[in-house]
């Protein structure tokens, strides 16, 4: 069994991680920081808006059981990709919507998925999700890992 990796930033990483953990074929998730210029940032560093990092979820998955396209669908369904540097009440560049691709096939799938969603008319505003090459992933502090699960919560969404 070959495990592949996918990395998504969709606002606060707690709820997004919980959503990905529910998918059959997802073997592991980790929350962390990616896409900035500061090595080994802490949560406080990232919240200072000086690191350039986004809060992300790194997903290890079995492509025999779940496709990258299915993971993209979960990503799109669980945040507002038209909001630049925010999700709901969370504001800042660490909450940006971003797909970090690990392979050319992931890049192509992400671009096609974004275009199809934009053309669908589901959103009135343009989708601002960045699609960029994966960089160094910095694992977040242990207390952020599976944060909602540890507290008996299933979501942190504000509807």
- Positions annotated as catalytic residues are 12
Across the beta sheet with 54-61, the strand order is 130-133, 97-101, 4-10, 54-61, 26-34, 138-139
Cα 141 from Cα 45, distance rounded (Å): 12
Task: Decide if 59 contacts 71 (C-beta within 8 A).
Answer: yes
CA distances (Å), origin 154, targets 15, 75, 141: 8, 16, 20
Q: For residue 159, give the nearest of 75, 72, 79 by alpha carbon.
A: 79
Rounded to a whole number, what is the distance in angstroms from the first to the last CA of the chain? Answer: 39
The maximal CA–CA distance of the chain, rounded, in angstroms, is: 41
Strand, helix or coil at 27?
strand
């Amino acid at each position: 069994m070959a495990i592949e990796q996918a990395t998504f930033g969709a606002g606060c990483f707690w709820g997004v991680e919980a959503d990905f953990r529910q998918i059959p074929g997802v073997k592991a998730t980790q929350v962390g920081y990616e896409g900035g210029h500061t090595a080994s940032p802490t949560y406080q560093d990232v919240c200072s808006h000086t690191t350039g990092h986004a809060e992300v979820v790194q997903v290890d998955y079995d492509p025999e059981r779940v496709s990258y396209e299915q993971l993209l669908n979960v990503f799109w369904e669980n945040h507002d990709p038209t909001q630049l540097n925010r999700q709901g009440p969370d504001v800042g560049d660490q909450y940006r919507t971003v797909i970090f691709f690990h392979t050319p096939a992931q890049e192509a799938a992400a671009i096609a998925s974004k275009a199809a969603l934009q053309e669908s008319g589901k959103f009135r505003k343009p989708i601002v999700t960045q699609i960029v090459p994966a960089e160094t992933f910095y694992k977040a502090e242990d207390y952020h890992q599976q944060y909602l699960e540890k507290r008996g919560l299933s979501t942190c969404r504000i509807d």
